[in-house]
A and B are shown apart, each in its own frame.
Chain A
């Protein structure tokens, strides 16, 4: 029996879909059998970030309405051994499905997959309730901004009401320069307000945006900083102890050379 993890945040645009795609892919890279479920009905985009949009035939609503079997709606990502996507419907709205139906579908998927990664829509209404219905665990994504942290806090309270205790935190889009100058909320500050375990921090990385446009999840590149951050997060989900990423930029070769010659 697998584990269903919902990726949620309250606020939109903080990186739920990006996180879902990258955690799903990173777990698949570790040899796990993974399915990603997009519950952002009407605004689906997990398929776009994964570069699988053109392969969609059936979606989540088709499954719940009985227009197709669950297996027919699953899109296999051919780049990996065992990575699948259950896309959201683009033309319907959030009321087209109920939490009970999502729960049933997620329950079916847990029988076949080790991880079911659920991408949650923004907000705290119907779409949120749908997304969390079948989840065993939750990951809350925030960015270092007051409004995002406030919404994350709200969502943590709601998750607890839904029986999802001890959600884990990811702080996304951290900018080293702004952190240093004190223009951005610090990691410690955010963790002390939200008072939940930190699963990882992800730097703001242009490469993420580039990848979103080419349909290649960031973690597929071994070098980008965001990629390393997501790989670390996946390893922590699997139970490894991986130290938090050092935020300071590594001194480049030139600065090292300059130091040697007493120029830095």
Chain B
């Protein structure tokens, strides 16, 4: 192993930023992390609670790899991970993952399906005949003209919101709604759909906090 800095630690206002080299071998990265925390920086890191922000750079990291780093940092009781900046592996469309939201962009065209795990912010349009599905919430900055399915693995707490909503069909968990027939409106702007008492409802986005006081999701 070289003595190049694979892990650089910088102090910021609310804690420490760990910048992790994104080119090197992952095991080397882990090793240097251990060395830094257990040897060179041990004294520096002892003491009161410190917030840590991890920045993986351009390296695509798996959940397993994240857990390895978390485990090393977790050994130091005074370090608390507040945020992780990284790209997911094998997903070229992803811009970034921050605060528990996956950001994607593009156009979901007729015949295409885009599936995401967790909450998704989609920058673009979902066209008629296209579908966007996610296990969490769906936020669309664009037009939803096709189908959206939030909480796809059964979470009826999930919501679907869009700048422009003119969907062919909406699904949340196992609740299905055909908005034009059921809501009496052809299209809406800046609204979101949610499930209440087993029925789908829509409301203005500025009322979102009433339905989901926990939003935005915390890391």
Q: Does B associate with A?
A: yes
**Interface set of A (CB-CB < 8 Å, partner B):** 146, 150-151, 153-154, 156-158, 192-195
**Interface set of B (CB-CB < 8 Å, partner A):** 107, 109-112, 125, 127-130, 143, 145
Task: Check A151 against B125 for contact (C-beta < 8 Å).
Answer: no
The SS class assigned to the B binding surface is loop
Residues of B near A195 (CB, < 8 A) are: 107, 125
Complexed CA–CA distance, A241 and B61 (Å): 48
- Which residue of A has the minimal Cβ distance to B125? A195
Complexed CA–CA distance, A154 and B109 (Å): 6
**Contact of B129 (CB < 8 Å), options: A154, A158, A194:** A154
Residues of A near B130 (CB, < 8 A) are: 153
Residues of B near A153 (CB, < 8 A) are: 109-111, 127-130
Complexed CA–CA distance, A150 and B109 (Å): 9
Residues of B near A151 (CB, < 8 A) are: 110
9 extra interchain contacts, Cβ-Cβ under 8 A, other than A153-B110, A158-B111, A193-B127?
A150-B110, A150-B129, A153-B109, A153-B111, A153-B128, A154-B109, A154-B111, A193-B128, A193-B145
- Which residue of A has the minimal Cβ distance to B109? A157
Complexed CA–CA distance, A146 and B110 (Å): 12
**Contact of B111 (CB < 8 Å), options: A146, A157, A192, A193:** A157
Complexed CA–CA distance, A156 and B128 (Å): 13
Complexed CA–CA distance, A158 and B111 (Å): 9
Complexed CA–CA distance, A229 and B129 (Å): 31
Mind listing 12 A-B residue pairs with CB under 8 Å? A150-B110, A151-B110, A153-B110, A153-B127, A154-B109, A154-B111, A154-B129, A156-B109, A157-B109, A157-B110, A157-B112, A193-B125
Task: Check A150 against B128 for contact (C-beta < 8 Å).
Answer: yes
Task: Check A154 against B110 for contact (C-beta < 8 Å).
Answer: yes
Residues of B near A193 (CB, < 8 A) are: 125, 127-128, 145
Complexed CA–CA distance, A195 and B130 (Å): 14
Residues of A near B145 (CB, < 8 A) are: 193
Complexed CA–CA distance, A153 and B111 (Å): 9
- Which residue of A has the minimal Cβ distance to B107? A195
Smallest CB separation, A164 vs chain B (Å): 14
Residues of B near A194 (CB, < 8 A) are: 127
Smallest CB separation, A5 vs chain B (Å): 21
Smallest CB separation, B165 vs chain A (Å): 14
Residues of A near B128 (CB, < 8 A) are: 146, 150, 153, 193
Most buried by B among A146, A150, A151, A192: A150
Smallest CB separation, A204 vs chain B (Å): 23
Complexed CA–CA distance, A151 and B110 (Å): 7
Complexed CA–CA distance, A195 and B145 (Å): 13
- Which residue of B has the minimal Cβ distance to A152? B110
Complexed CA–CA distance, A205 and B129 (Å): 31
Complexed CA–CA distance, A192 and B125 (Å): 10
Residues of B near A150 (CB, < 8 A) are: 110, 128-129
Complexed CA–CA distance, A146 and B129 (Å): 11
Smallest CB separation, B136 vs chain A (Å): 25
Complexed CA–CA distance, A231 and B129 (Å): 34
Smallest CB separation, A210 vs chain B (Å): 34
Smallest CB separation, B186 vs chain A (Å): 13
Complexed CA–CA distance, A146 and B83 (Å): 45
Complexed CA–CA distance, A193 and B129 (Å): 12
Complexed CA–CA distance, A157 and B111 (Å): 8
Residues of B near A146 (CB, < 8 A) are: 128
Complexed CA–CA distance, A156 and B130 (Å): 12
Residues of A near B125 (CB, < 8 A) are: 193, 195
